[in-house]
Amino acid sequence: MAAAIETKQLTKTYKSKSRNLTVVDKLDLHVEEGEIFGFLGPNGAGKTTTIKMLLSIIEATSGEGYILGKELGDFDVHKLISYVPERPYYYEYMTGLEILKFYGSLFGISDVAHMQNLLERVGLADARNTNKTINQYSKGMQQRIGLAQALLNDPKLLFLDEPTGGLDPIAHREIRDLILGFREEGRTVFISSHELSEVELICDRVAIINHGVIVAQGKLTDLLAGGRVEILVGKLDRGVFSDMKIEDGNIHDTPAGVLFDVPEGSDVNAIIDGARAKGGQVVSIVPRKKRLEDLFVEAVRNK
């Protein structure tokens, strides 16, 4: 599959009289078409700076970048992409529909039925029907109008900066479902986010950036491989299993029984069969998945 975003050694250095500050350092990003990509990193890591370079809002100091195959700085590609900033700024006294008409006019889009559909799609039909203006919108509604605006030009690639920041759990889920819908329609979504549990639920691949440098990048399923499985067997103690061979696993005595702690992908059936053959009672089997939060903390702390 073609790359939606590709950067090679992309670098941004802010120069001042006293010193040069490199805030994005030789970034090699690879985002495939049709995937949801999570761009993560602590505050000040260089995420927004990177997005601004990808959108050609600021110029890279060195390196290369390609958006949908076009080199950075080629503004033709902007017809095919869209961007929702973390805190979008809208004219306060416009209604949602007026906002869409305004942004539509910038793209030469005037199809009002299309705009009405978008308002419905992002869950703003009520606000439309009651003619609410943006200053009467809640935070969640403002995020939604941002997404409606981002869909106006039927983009192939969307950049979303913190799309679920400050939302309640129901709004979270609705926005998440909308974003998953974008992928179903074949769009590529580049999300910068601090909400790791959210990212874990929707992203195909992620990159973690720290001090301008990528410290981890890849498929989430690969990055989060290496979880464990815990099997608790009651009625016995550890000695009974002294002849059982368990690769890369541990066996502990606990008040509730013997706990087998083995790598994800181990032959759990064999352990259960072995335990039962010795008269053990299987109490529980609990997968302990590796969490994105653990990966994030490890990757950021070690660099």
The binding site for Mg ion (CB under 5 A) comprises 47-48
Nearer Cβ to Mg ion, position 199 or 229? 199
Among 47, 144, 172, 187, binds ligand ATP (CB under 6 A): 47
List the single partner that 163 binds among ligand ATP, Mg ion, none, CB under 5 to 8 Å by kind. Answer: none
Binding mask 135-164 for ligand ATP (x = CB under 6 A): ------------------------------
Q: From the CA atom positions of the chain, what is the Rg in Å? A: 25
94 binds ligand ATP (CB under 6 A): no
Give me the least distance between CB of 7 and Mg ion, in Å please.
Answer: 17
State which residue, 47 or 144, has the beta carbon closest to Mg ion: 47
* Partner from Mg ion, ligand ATP, none contacting 20, C-beta within 5 to 8 A by type: none
Query: If you search the block for the tokens 């992409």, which residue do you land on?
Result: 81
Cα–Cα distance for residue pair 231/285, rounded to 1 Å: 4
Residue 55 site contact among ligand ATP, Mg ion, none (CB < 5 to 8 Å, cut-off depends on kind) = none
Q: What is the 3-state secondary structure (H, E, C) of 127-168?
A: HHHCCCEHHHCCHHHHHHHHHHHHHCCCCCEEEEECCCCCCC
> Which tokens belong to 129?
């029907």
48 interacts with ligand ATP by CB under 6 A = yes
DSSP 154-206: --SEEEEESTTTT--HHHHHHHHHHHHHHHHTT-EEEEE-S-HHHHHHH-SEE
Kindly state the smallest distance separating residue 297's Cβ from ligand ATP, in Å.
16
Kindly state whether residue 23 participates in binding ligand ATP, applying the rule CB under 6 A: yes
CB of 44 to Mg ion, least distance (A): 8
For residue 18, give the DSSP letter.
S
Report the distance separating Cα 19 and Cα 266, nearest Å: 53
Residues that bind ligand ATP (CB under 6 A): 14, 21, 23, 41, 43-49
